[in-house]
Amino acid sequence: MTNAPTFPRLFASLGDGQSFQAHVERYGHRPQLDGRTKSTEAFIALLEAAQLTGRGGGVVAAAAKLRFLRSARKTHVVINAMEGEPASSKATALLEVAPHLIFDGASLLAEALGSTSVTLAIASDDHRSAEFAEAALANRHDPIAISVVRPPGRYVAGEESALVNWIDRGVSLPTFRATKPSFVTIGRQAALVHNLETLAHIGHIGRFGADWFRQVGAVNAPGTVLITVSGAVARPSTVEWINGGTLGALLDSLGGSPSNFQGALLGGYGGTFVGAASREIALDEWSLRSAGATLGPGIVVALPMNSCPLMETSRIVTWMARESAGQCGPCVYGLPTLSTDLHDFVTNRRSKTSLHRIEGRLREIEGRGACRHPDGVVRLVRSAMKAFSSHVDGHVAQGPCRELHAPSVLTWPKEISR
Protein backbone atom coordinates (compact mmCIF):
# COMPACT_ATOMS: atom_id res chain seq x y z
CA MET A 1 0.00 0.00 0.00
CA THR A 2 1.31 3.45 -0.88
CA ASN A 3 1.43 6.33 1.55
CA ALA A 4 -1.63 8.50 2.04
CA PRO A 5 -2.08 10.92 -0.89
CA THR A 6 -1.19 14.53 -0.23
CA PHE A 7 -2.89 16.48 -3.02
CA PRO A 8 -4.87 15.75 -5.06
CA ARG A 9 -6.61 13.16 -2.92
CA LEU A 10 -9.82 11.99 -4.54
CA PHE A 11 -8.27 12.47 -7.98
CA ALA A 12 -5.02 10.72 -7.06
CA SER A 13 -5.86 7.62 -9.10
CA LEU A 14 -6.14 9.16 -12.56
CA GLY A 15 -5.81 6.55 -15.29
CA ASP A 16 -6.90 3.35 -13.53
CA GLY A 17 -9.81 4.34 -11.31
CA GLN A 18 -12.09 1.53 -12.51
CA SER A 19 -9.69 -1.25 -11.48
CA PHE A 20 -10.46 -2.72 -8.07
CA GLN A 21 -7.07 -4.47 -8.07
CA ALA A 22 -5.26 -1.16 -8.65
CA HIS A 23 -7.39 0.42 -5.90
CA VAL A 24 -6.40 -2.27 -3.39
CA GLU A 25 -2.75 -2.10 -4.42
CA ARG A 26 -2.78 1.65 -3.87
CA TYR A 27 -4.81 1.83 -0.64
CA GLY A 28 -5.11 -1.70 0.70
CA HIS A 29 -8.44 -3.30 1.60
CA ARG A 30 -10.83 -1.04 3.41
CA PRO A 31 -10.93 -1.21 7.22
CA GLN A 32 -13.58 -3.44 8.77
CA LEU A 33 -16.19 -2.69 11.42
CA ASP A 34 -17.83 -5.50 13.35
CA GLY A 35 -21.09 -3.63 13.95
CA ARG A 36 -20.69 -3.58 17.74
CA THR A 37 -21.61 -0.39 19.55
CA LYS A 38 -18.04 0.26 20.67
CA SER A 39 -16.51 0.15 17.19
CA THR A 40 -19.37 2.10 15.66
CA GLU A 41 -19.01 4.84 18.25
CA ALA A 42 -15.29 4.93 17.52
CA PHE A 43 -16.07 5.37 13.84
CA ILE A 44 -18.48 8.22 14.61
CA ALA A 45 -15.79 9.82 16.78
CA LEU A 46 -13.33 9.48 13.88
CA LEU A 47 -15.67 11.36 11.51
CA GLU A 48 -16.31 13.95 14.18
CA ALA A 49 -12.59 14.52 14.69
CA ALA A 50 -12.13 14.88 10.92
CA GLN A 51 -14.83 17.61 10.84
CA LEU A 52 -16.12 16.20 7.58
CA THR A 53 -19.26 17.91 6.30
CA GLY A 54 -21.50 16.76 3.46
CA ARG A 55 -20.43 17.79 -0.03
CA GLY A 56 -23.93 17.69 -1.51
CA GLY A 57 -24.85 21.24 -0.52
CA GLY A 58 -26.43 20.75 2.90
CA VAL A 59 -23.11 21.04 4.81
CA VAL A 60 -24.34 18.68 7.55
CA ALA A 61 -21.63 17.08 9.68
CA ALA A 62 -21.19 13.45 8.60
CA ALA A 63 -20.73 12.36 12.23
CA ALA A 64 -23.95 14.05 13.33
CA LYS A 65 -25.91 12.43 10.51
CA LEU A 66 -24.57 8.98 11.38
CA ARG A 67 -25.17 9.44 15.11
CA PHE A 68 -28.77 10.50 14.45
CA LEU A 69 -29.42 7.39 12.34
CA ARG A 70 -28.01 5.10 15.05
CA SER A 71 -31.35 5.37 16.84
CA ALA A 72 -33.15 3.66 13.94
CA ARG A 73 -33.65 -0.10 14.13
CA LYS A 74 -32.76 -0.65 10.48
CA THR A 75 -31.16 1.73 8.01
CA HIS A 76 -30.86 1.70 4.24
CA VAL A 77 -27.72 3.43 2.88
CA VAL A 78 -28.18 5.39 -0.36
CA ILE A 79 -25.42 6.85 -2.54
CA ASN A 80 -26.80 9.99 -4.19
CA ALA A 81 -25.16 10.36 -7.61
CA MET A 82 -28.15 12.09 -9.21
CA GLU A 83 -26.25 15.17 -10.44
CA GLY A 84 -29.42 17.25 -10.73
CA GLU A 85 -27.52 20.49 -11.18
CA PRO A 86 -26.96 21.09 -14.92
CA ALA A 87 -23.73 23.00 -14.24
CA SER A 88 -22.11 20.09 -12.36
CA SER A 89 -20.23 17.11 -13.77
CA LYS A 90 -18.48 15.87 -10.64
CA ALA A 91 -20.52 12.66 -10.32
CA THR A 92 -19.28 11.44 -13.68
CA ALA A 93 -15.72 12.56 -12.93
CA LEU A 94 -15.60 10.86 -9.53
CA LEU A 95 -17.22 7.62 -10.73
CA GLU A 96 -14.60 7.48 -13.47
CA VAL A 97 -11.58 8.26 -11.29
CA ALA A 98 -12.36 6.97 -7.77
CA PRO A 99 -15.50 4.78 -7.69
CA HIS A 100 -14.04 2.34 -5.16
CA LEU A 101 -13.42 5.10 -2.61
CA ILE A 102 -17.13 5.92 -2.88
CA PHE A 103 -18.15 2.30 -2.42
CA ASP A 104 -15.70 1.86 0.47
CA GLY A 105 -17.21 4.83 2.28
CA ALA A 106 -20.76 3.58 1.73
CA SER A 107 -19.81 0.08 2.91
CA LEU A 108 -18.23 1.47 6.07
CA LEU A 109 -21.43 3.35 6.88
CA ALA A 110 -23.53 0.28 6.13
CA GLU A 111 -21.45 -1.82 8.51
CA ALA A 112 -21.62 0.86 11.19
CA LEU A 113 -25.43 0.79 10.95
CA GLY A 114 -25.77 -2.96 10.60
CA SER A 115 -27.07 -2.73 7.04
CA THR A 116 -26.38 -5.46 4.49
CA SER A 117 -27.00 -3.52 1.29
CA VAL A 118 -26.39 -0.16 -0.38
CA THR A 119 -28.31 1.52 -3.19
CA LEU A 120 -26.54 3.70 -5.75
CA ALA A 121 -28.91 6.16 -7.48
CA ILE A 122 -27.88 7.52 -10.90
CA ALA A 123 -30.20 9.61 -13.07
CA SER A 124 -31.84 7.73 -15.95
CA ASP A 125 -30.29 10.07 -18.53
CA ASP A 126 -26.76 9.99 -17.06
CA HIS A 127 -25.42 7.12 -19.14
CA ARG A 128 -21.69 7.82 -18.67
CA SER A 129 -21.91 7.75 -14.86
CA ALA A 130 -23.88 4.51 -15.01
CA GLU A 131 -21.30 2.90 -17.31
CA PHE A 132 -18.43 3.85 -15.00
CA ALA A 133 -20.29 2.65 -11.90
CA GLU A 134 -21.34 -0.69 -13.38
CA ALA A 135 -17.83 -1.37 -14.70
CA ALA A 136 -16.34 -0.69 -11.28
CA LEU A 137 -18.93 -2.81 -9.45
CA ALA A 138 -18.28 -5.73 -11.80
CA ASN A 139 -14.65 -5.78 -10.56
CA ARG A 140 -15.50 -5.44 -6.89
CA HIS A 141 -15.62 -8.14 -4.21
CA ASP A 142 -17.38 -6.92 -1.09
CA PRO A 143 -19.81 -8.54 1.40
CA ILE A 144 -21.97 -5.41 1.22
CA ALA A 145 -24.23 -5.67 -1.85
CA ILE A 146 -24.42 -2.47 -3.93
CA SER A 147 -27.33 -2.21 -6.37
CA VAL A 148 -27.90 0.49 -8.99
CA VAL A 149 -31.22 2.25 -9.55
CA ARG A 150 -32.05 4.88 -12.19
CA PRO A 151 -34.56 7.53 -11.03
CA PRO A 152 -35.77 10.17 -13.51
CA GLY A 153 -33.25 12.86 -14.46
CA ARG A 154 -35.04 15.81 -12.91
CA TYR A 155 -33.62 18.63 -10.80
CA VAL A 156 -35.78 17.86 -7.76
CA ALA A 157 -35.27 14.10 -8.09
CA GLY A 158 -31.90 14.35 -6.37
CA GLU A 159 -33.31 16.05 -3.27
CA GLU A 160 -32.93 13.63 -0.36
CA SER A 161 -36.60 13.02 0.40
CA ALA A 162 -37.60 12.95 -3.29
CA LEU A 163 -34.92 10.35 -3.95
CA VAL A 164 -35.99 7.98 -1.17
CA ASN A 165 -39.65 8.46 -2.15
CA TRP A 166 -38.80 7.27 -5.65
CA ILE A 167 -36.81 4.29 -4.35
CA ASP A 168 -39.65 3.43 -1.97
CA ARG A 169 -42.77 4.21 -4.01
CA GLY A 170 -41.65 5.19 -7.51
CA VAL A 171 -42.81 8.79 -6.93
CA SER A 172 -40.12 11.45 -7.27
CA LEU A 173 -41.60 14.11 -4.97
CA PRO A 174 -39.92 15.88 -2.06
CA THR A 175 -41.46 15.70 1.41
CA PHE A 176 -41.99 18.75 3.59
CA ARG A 177 -39.80 18.59 6.68
CA ALA A 178 -40.20 21.43 9.12
CA THR A 179 -37.04 20.53 11.02
CA LYS A 180 -33.81 18.71 10.31
CA PRO A 181 -32.49 16.22 11.06
CA SER A 182 -35.57 14.09 10.50
CA PHE A 183 -35.97 10.56 9.26
CA VAL A 184 -36.57 9.80 5.62
CA THR A 185 -37.63 6.21 5.06
CA ILE A 186 -37.61 3.40 2.52
CA GLY A 187 -40.28 0.94 3.54
CA ARG A 188 -39.86 0.43 7.28
CA GLN A 189 -36.20 1.38 7.24
CA ALA A 190 -34.67 4.79 7.85
CA ALA A 191 -32.50 5.98 4.97
CA LEU A 192 -29.01 7.45 5.23
CA VAL A 193 -28.43 9.43 2.04
CA HIS A 194 -25.00 10.81 1.22
CA ASN A 195 -23.53 12.55 -1.79
CA LEU A 196 -20.94 10.35 -3.48
CA GLU A 197 -18.12 12.84 -2.84
CA THR A 198 -18.79 12.73 0.91
CA LEU A 199 -18.57 8.94 0.81
CA ALA A 200 -15.26 9.04 -1.07
CA HIS A 201 -13.83 11.20 1.71
CA ILE A 202 -15.13 8.68 4.27
CA GLY A 203 -13.34 5.96 2.31
CA HIS A 204 -10.12 7.92 2.80
CA ILE A 205 -10.71 8.89 6.44
CA GLY A 206 -11.40 5.26 7.38
CA ARG A 207 -7.88 4.41 6.17
CA PHE A 208 -5.75 7.45 6.95
CA GLY A 209 -7.51 9.06 9.90
CA ALA A 210 -8.78 12.46 10.98
CA ASP A 211 -5.40 14.17 11.40
CA TRP A 212 -4.46 13.33 7.81
CA PHE A 213 -7.79 14.66 6.53
CA ARG A 214 -7.32 17.98 8.33
CA GLN A 215 -3.79 18.54 6.98
CA VAL A 216 -5.20 20.65 4.15
CA GLY A 217 -8.08 23.10 3.98
CA ALA A 218 -9.45 25.85 6.19
CA VAL A 219 -9.49 25.56 9.98
CA ASN A 220 -13.29 25.37 10.12
CA ALA A 221 -13.61 23.51 6.80
CA PRO A 222 -10.77 21.00 6.39
CA GLY A 223 -10.15 18.73 3.43
CA THR A 224 -10.65 19.14 -0.28
CA VAL A 225 -13.73 19.76 -2.39
CA LEU A 226 -14.66 18.94 -5.97
CA ILE A 227 -15.77 21.96 -8.01
CA THR A 228 -17.13 22.03 -11.55
CA VAL A 229 -15.94 25.28 -13.14
CA SER A 230 -17.37 26.67 -16.38
CA GLY A 231 -18.01 29.97 -18.12
CA ALA A 232 -15.21 32.49 -18.57
CA VAL A 233 -12.25 30.11 -18.19
CA ALA A 234 -10.02 28.59 -20.86
CA ARG A 235 -10.27 25.06 -19.44
CA PRO A 236 -13.72 24.28 -18.04
CA SER A 237 -13.50 21.15 -15.92
CA THR A 238 -14.17 19.47 -12.59
CA VAL A 239 -11.18 19.98 -10.28
CA GLU A 240 -10.21 19.01 -6.77
CA TRP A 241 -9.62 22.17 -4.76
CA ILE A 242 -8.39 22.81 -1.23
CA ASN A 243 -11.13 24.21 0.99
CA GLY A 244 -10.37 27.88 1.65
CA GLY A 245 -8.53 28.60 -1.60
CA THR A 246 -9.80 31.79 -3.21
CA LEU A 247 -12.18 32.08 -6.13
CA GLY A 248 -9.65 34.13 -8.06
CA ALA A 249 -6.92 31.51 -7.62
CA LEU A 250 -9.29 28.79 -8.81
CA LEU A 251 -10.25 30.74 -11.95
CA ASP A 252 -6.62 31.68 -12.65
CA SER A 253 -5.61 28.01 -12.48
CA LEU A 254 -8.06 27.26 -15.31
CA GLY A 255 -7.11 30.18 -17.52
CA GLY A 256 -9.57 32.78 -16.29
CA SER A 257 -8.74 36.47 -16.67
CA PRO A 258 -9.53 39.17 -14.07
CA SER A 259 -10.24 41.59 -16.94
CA ASN A 260 -12.96 39.30 -18.28
CA PHE A 261 -14.81 38.70 -15.03
CA GLN A 262 -17.91 40.52 -13.84
CA GLY A 263 -19.04 37.97 -11.25
CA ALA A 264 -19.91 34.34 -10.78
CA LEU A 265 -22.69 31.95 -9.97
CA LEU A 266 -21.73 29.85 -6.95
CA GLY A 267 -23.58 26.73 -5.87
CA GLY A 268 -25.49 26.01 -9.05
CA TYR A 269 -28.99 26.99 -10.13
CA GLY A 270 -30.24 27.04 -6.58
CA GLY A 271 -27.19 29.00 -5.42
CA THR A 272 -26.14 32.63 -5.35
CA PHE A 273 -24.48 35.22 -7.56
CA VAL A 274 -21.46 37.23 -6.44
CA GLY A 275 -20.10 40.35 -8.12
CA ALA A 276 -16.79 41.46 -9.60
CA ALA A 277 -15.21 42.10 -6.18
CA SER A 278 -15.59 38.43 -5.19
CA ARG A 279 -12.33 37.06 -6.60
CA GLU A 280 -10.68 37.18 -3.16
CA ILE A 281 -13.47 35.31 -1.39
CA ALA A 282 -12.38 32.00 0.20
CA LEU A 283 -14.15 28.96 -1.21
CA ASP A 284 -15.20 27.22 1.98
CA GLU A 285 -18.76 27.14 3.27
CA TRP A 286 -18.06 29.09 6.46
CA SER A 287 -16.43 32.00 4.62
CA LEU A 288 -19.04 31.93 1.86
CA ARG A 289 -22.00 31.88 4.24
CA SER A 290 -20.64 34.89 6.08
CA ALA A 291 -20.74 36.64 2.70
CA GLY A 292 -24.30 35.44 2.00
CA ALA A 293 -23.19 32.85 -0.57
CA THR A 294 -22.74 29.09 -0.82
CA LEU A 295 -20.69 26.63 -2.83
CA GLY A 296 -23.62 24.20 -2.72
CA PRO A 297 -22.74 20.92 -4.45
CA GLY A 298 -19.51 22.45 -5.78
CA ILE A 299 -20.26 24.68 -8.76
CA VAL A 300 -18.67 27.88 -10.09
CA VAL A 301 -19.80 29.58 -13.31
CA ALA A 302 -17.67 32.62 -14.15
CA LEU A 303 -19.54 35.34 -16.07
CA PRO A 304 -17.60 37.12 -18.83
CA MET A 305 -17.91 40.84 -19.47
CA ASN A 306 -19.91 40.33 -22.67
CA SER A 307 -22.82 38.58 -20.96
CA CYS A 308 -25.95 39.99 -19.35
CA PRO A 309 -26.12 38.52 -15.84
CA LEU A 310 -29.79 39.43 -15.53
CA MET A 311 -30.64 37.54 -18.71
CA GLU A 312 -28.70 34.56 -17.40
CA THR A 313 -30.73 34.79 -14.19
CA SER A 314 -33.93 34.88 -16.22
CA ARG A 315 -32.89 31.72 -18.08
CA ILE A 316 -32.23 29.91 -14.80
CA VAL A 317 -35.57 30.92 -13.29
CA THR A 318 -37.38 29.75 -16.43
CA TRP A 319 -35.70 26.36 -16.20
CA MET A 320 -36.21 26.05 -12.44
CA ALA A 321 -39.93 26.81 -12.83
CA ARG A 322 -40.20 23.91 -15.28
CA GLU A 323 -38.23 21.57 -13.01
CA SER A 324 -40.40 21.99 -9.91
CA ALA A 325 -42.29 19.10 -8.37
CA GLY A 326 -45.55 20.95 -9.00
CA GLN A 327 -47.08 20.04 -5.64
CA CYS A 328 -47.61 23.46 -4.06
CA GLY A 329 -48.76 26.95 -5.03
CA PRO A 330 -45.33 28.65 -5.01
CA CYS A 331 -44.06 26.13 -7.56
CA VAL A 332 -47.24 25.75 -9.64
CA TYR A 333 -48.09 29.46 -9.86
CA GLY A 334 -45.37 31.53 -8.19
CA LEU A 335 -42.27 30.42 -10.08
CA PRO A 336 -43.80 30.58 -13.60
CA THR A 337 -45.14 34.07 -12.86
CA LEU A 338 -41.78 35.15 -11.43
CA SER A 339 -40.15 33.82 -14.60
CA THR A 340 -42.46 35.95 -16.75
CA ASP A 341 -41.96 39.05 -14.62
CA LEU A 342 -38.18 38.70 -14.69
CA HIS A 343 -38.13 38.13 -18.44
CA ASP A 344 -40.26 41.24 -18.92
CA PHE A 345 -37.93 43.25 -16.73
CA VAL A 346 -34.84 42.17 -18.66
CA THR A 347 -36.29 42.58 -22.16
CA ASN A 348 -38.91 45.35 -21.97
CA ARG A 349 -38.59 49.12 -21.58
CA ARG A 350 -41.21 49.24 -18.80
CA SER A 351 -38.56 47.93 -16.44
CA LYS A 352 -39.44 49.97 -13.38
CA THR A 353 -42.96 48.53 -13.25
CA SER A 354 -41.63 45.00 -13.82
CA LEU A 355 -39.06 45.46 -11.04
CA HIS A 356 -41.80 46.28 -8.52
CA ARG A 357 -43.68 43.16 -9.57
CA ILE A 358 -40.56 41.02 -9.10
CA GLU A 359 -39.96 42.34 -5.60
CA GLY A 360 -43.55 41.61 -4.64
CA ARG A 361 -43.44 38.15 -6.17
CA LEU A 362 -40.31 37.22 -4.21
CA ARG A 363 -42.06 38.15 -0.95
CA GLU A 364 -45.09 36.06 -1.91
CA ILE A 365 -43.07 32.94 -2.73
CA GLU A 366 -40.50 32.95 0.07
CA GLY A 367 -41.07 30.44 2.87
CA ARG A 368 -44.31 29.06 1.48
CA GLY A 369 -43.12 26.06 -0.51
CA ALA A 370 -43.58 22.39 0.38
CA CYS A 371 -39.81 22.01 -0.11
CA ARG A 372 -36.87 24.39 -0.46
CA HIS A 373 -36.96 24.56 -4.27
CA PRO A 374 -38.86 27.88 -4.50
CA ASP A 375 -36.76 29.43 -1.72
CA GLY A 376 -33.64 28.57 -3.70
CA VAL A 377 -35.00 30.48 -6.69
CA VAL A 378 -35.86 33.46 -4.49
CA ARG A 379 -32.34 33.49 -3.06
CA LEU A 380 -30.84 33.27 -6.55
CA VAL A 381 -32.84 36.23 -7.89
CA ARG A 382 -32.15 38.42 -4.87
CA SER A 383 -28.43 37.69 -5.07
CA ALA A 384 -28.40 38.65 -8.76
CA MET A 385 -30.18 41.94 -8.06
CA LYS A 386 -27.61 42.74 -5.37
CA ALA A 387 -24.45 41.54 -7.12
CA PHE A 388 -25.35 43.26 -10.41
CA SER A 389 -27.15 46.33 -9.10
CA SER A 390 -25.56 48.51 -11.79
CA HIS A 391 -27.15 46.29 -14.43
CA VAL A 392 -30.49 46.61 -12.65
CA ASP A 393 -30.16 50.41 -12.67
CA GLY A 394 -29.19 50.35 -16.33
CA HIS A 395 -32.21 48.27 -17.31
CA VAL A 396 -34.51 50.58 -15.36
CA ALA A 397 -33.03 53.76 -16.87
CA GLN A 398 -32.29 52.66 -20.43
CA GLY A 399 -34.08 49.38 -21.10
CA PRO A 400 -32.42 46.22 -22.42
CA CYS A 401 -28.61 46.19 -22.53
CA ARG A 402 -26.62 45.41 -25.66
CA GLU A 403 -25.45 42.07 -24.18
CA LEU A 404 -29.05 40.88 -23.90
CA HIS A 405 -28.81 38.47 -26.83
CA ALA A 406 -25.30 37.16 -26.12
CA PRO A 407 -25.08 33.35 -26.05
CA SER A 408 -25.64 31.84 -22.62
CA VAL A 409 -22.52 30.74 -20.72
CA LEU A 410 -24.65 28.39 -18.62
CA THR A 411 -25.02 24.64 -19.13
CA TRP A 412 -28.43 23.26 -20.01
CA PRO A 413 -29.64 19.66 -20.25
CA LYS A 414 -32.07 20.79 -22.91
CA GLU A 415 -32.63 23.97 -24.86
CA ILE A 416 -34.55 26.80 -23.24
CA SER A 417 -36.64 28.94 -25.54
CA ARG A 418 -38.73 31.99 -24.82
- Domains present along the chain, CATH in parentheses: 20-213 (3.40.50.11540), 224-303 (3.10.20.600), 309-398 (1.20.1440.230)
> pLDDT tens across 277-320, in order?
999 999 998 899 888 999 999 999 999 999 999 999 999 999 99
**Encoded amino acid at 7, one letter:** F
Note the pLDDT of residue 416. 45
The count of other CB atoms within 10 Å of the CB of residue 383 is: 23
For residue 123, the surrounding DSSP H or E stretch is: none
Say how far apart CA 82 and CA 79 lie, in whole Å.
Answer: 9
Note the pLDDT of residue 45. 95
Give the least confident one: 72-76, 84-88, 117-121.
72-76
> pLDDT tens across 22-61, in order?
999 888 888 888 666 668 899 999 999 999 999 988 789 9
Residues forming a β-bridge with 246? 282
* CA dihedral of 267, 412, 125, 193, whole degrees rounded to 10: 10
Q: Assess contact for 293 and 271: CB atoms under 8 A.
A: yes
CA atoms within a 13 Å half-sphere pointing along the CA-CB vector of 96:
12
Distances (CA, A) of 50 to 7, 60, 115, 262, 277: 17, 13, 23, 36, 32
Helices (H) and strands (E) in the chain, counts: 16, 10
Give 25-61 as a DSSP string.
HHH-SPP-----HHHHHHHHHHHHHHT-B-TTTT--B
